Structure 1
Amino acid sequence: MRPHHLKTKALSVFAALALATTAHAADVRVVSSGGFAQAYKDLSGPYEHASGDRLLSAWGPSMGTTKNAIPARLARGEAIDVVIMVGDALDKLMAEGKLEPGSKVVLANSPIACAVRHGAPKPDISTIDGLRQAFLHASHVAYSDSASGEYIKRQLLDKLGIKPAMEGKAAQIPATPVGEIIAQGEADFGCQQRSELKPVHGIDIVGLIPEEVQLRTEFSGAVVRGSSHPEAARALLRFLASPANAAAIEATGLEPVATRH
């Protein structure tokens, strides 16, 4: 359900919400982390058409030390109006005074999934033992340097009882999506948020990790303190959080927070 009728629905949502726009169209600068990126891309066109605003979009991880990471962008004073990122990391920036108080909007949750190279045998990871065996039997395993990867490195491998066994063959990948590492043949198994795996060509998603060890990452947006267009920024966040846009968000592999009507 991602073609034109979702965009048409998004337009009607915008009209129904009667979002306020400024007298002159605004250039709204947005930085999104990968987990919400596809949903944002799918909804940005309808929003621009209806609002008259232009979205100037960039991408970067919610955490980490790479130059495009959202905290690094804000630290060097990059001009940004809206950030969309992992909720915990956003809360930290809010506490540091980098974001407008009260502007946080929760958009979706993202479960962790695993993938193999396209056409490769798919391990059964529906049970904890199956997931354990998938890790152990892989030659090279990749996981991200953001929320899901930090969980895998610091908690999941211990929960599975395989952390020592994965030394030397499991690697945390900075900046590059895990799916791309798998597609390129640099890893034969990897795990990341499902919404970040879905857009990648050349891989097959095996499934979600079992509920007993699952971690859902919250994705939220907020207005950056000192934004040049704070009202336009808030309007964008209201639009993205609209219940009628839940289907578009769900189609990207996320679990929308808003309830559809």
Structure 2
Amino acid sequence: MSTLALAGLLREATPALEATLGARVTVELAPTRTLETRIRAGERADAAVLTAEAVAALSAEGVLDGMTARPLAHSRVGLAVKAGTPHPDIATVDALRQLLLAVPSLCYSRAGASGIFFAGLIERLGIADAVNAKAIVIPQGFTAEKLLTGEAAIAFQQISELMEVQGIDVVGPLPEGAQTIAVFSGAAFTGTAHGAALLDAVAALCTPDALRAKGLEAPG
């Protein structure tokens, strides 16, 4: 069970994981908050990749084996536009604030770590009401898909998630002062026979080059 931030990496790595483990590997993808709810409702897998905070919480509850927990990737929130359209200025917090007030439409996610952060960001900037009046807030999934339909002019999400949508341009990460670095960690479910081996195989694939190619950063 994995957060969407590592979707691209895990999709491409599944054949390599299967070759390493000698078994079929199924990856269930959803936002961390959604997976947390499902796990607490009783769903189980061999291993989970979630935000570090969620891994810590589920380890404290005994659902995940905290002894196997390890950071796998760092991720930044970014902004995207439809391919071929002008790239807005987001070099400073003030430029970002002006863009958010001027843009006709935008999209962010309700359940993902980036969407939760973005909702807090516009509150801190004092523009939540103005922004939300024209925002499309999707329950989960890839926000950049709304750029392709023309429903949104800009989209916010983890850069790795924006990169999963073809036909868009990632303008870049949000500026310092309006940025957060999410830490995504993995852990085996408590009592699973294959969780630790699966997590080891996933961790081995999270090299700096592989992470960078998917818009992520190596931890540490």
TM-score, scaled relative to structure 1: 0.78
Residues 45 and 121 from structure 1, CA distance in 2 versus in 1: closer, same or farther, beyond 3 angstroms? same
Whether 1:107 aligns to 2:69 is: no
2:191 counterpart residue number: 226
2:219 counterpart residue number: 257
Compute the RMSD of aligned alpha carbons: 1.9
1:245 counterpart residue number: 207
Percent identical residues: 36
Amino acid at match of 2:89: D
For residue 173 of structure 1, the aligned residue among 138, 161, 172 is 138
3-state SS, counterpart of residue 45 of structure 1: helix
Tell me if the contact between 1:110 and 1:195 (Cα under 8 Å) persists in the aligned partners. yes
What is the CA deviation profile of residues 211-233 of structure 1, one whole-angstrom value per residue up to 9, with x for unaligned ones? 22210111111111232x2xx32
Residues 79 and 162 from structure 1, CA distance in 2 versus in 1: closer, same or farther, beyond 3 angstroms? closer
Distance in 1, Cα, partners of 2:204 & 2:219: 10
TM-score, scaled relative to structure 2: 0.91
Tell me if the contact between 1:135 and 1:189 (Cα under 8 Å) persists in the aligned partners. no
Residues 167 and 38 from structure 1, CA distance in 2 versus in 1: closer, same or farther, beyond 3 angstroms? closer
Amino acid at match of 1:253: G
For residue 54 of structure 1, the aligned residue among 14, 24, 33 is 24
Offset of residue 243 of structure 1: 8.1
Higher relative contact order (CA 8 A, sep 6+): 2
Distance in 1, Cα, partners of 2:51 & 2:14: 19
Distance in 2, Cα, partners of 1:180 & 1:194: 14
What is the CA deviation profile of residues 34-91 of structure 1, one whole-angstrom value per residue up to 9, with x for unaligned ones? 001111222222221133122122111100xxxxx21232233224111111111222
1:138 counterpart residue number: 103
The size of the alignment, in residue pairs, is 219
Distance in 2, Cα, partners of 1:244 & 1:252: 10
2:53 counterpart residue number: 88
1:13 counterpart residue number: none
Residues 104 and 129 from structure 1, CA distance in 2 versus in 1: closer, same or farther, beyond 3 angstroms? same
What is the CA deviation profile of residues 111-158 of structure 1, one whole-angstrom value per residue up to 9, with x for unaligned ones? 01001122222101111122112211211111112111111112x113
2:15 counterpart residue number: 45
Instruction: Out of 234-243 and 203-212, give the one that drifted further.
Output: 234-243
2:160 counterpart residue number: 195
The correspondence of residues 15-30 of structure 1 with structure 2, limited to 5 A, is none
1:66 counterpart residue number: none
Instruction: Out of 162-171 and 103-112, give the one that drifted further.
Output: 162-171
Structure 2, unaligned runs of 5 or more: none
Whether 1:215 aligns to 2:180 is: yes
List structure 1 segments (4+ residues) > 4 angstroms apart after TM superposition: none
Structure 1, unaligned runs of 5 or more: 1-30, 64-68
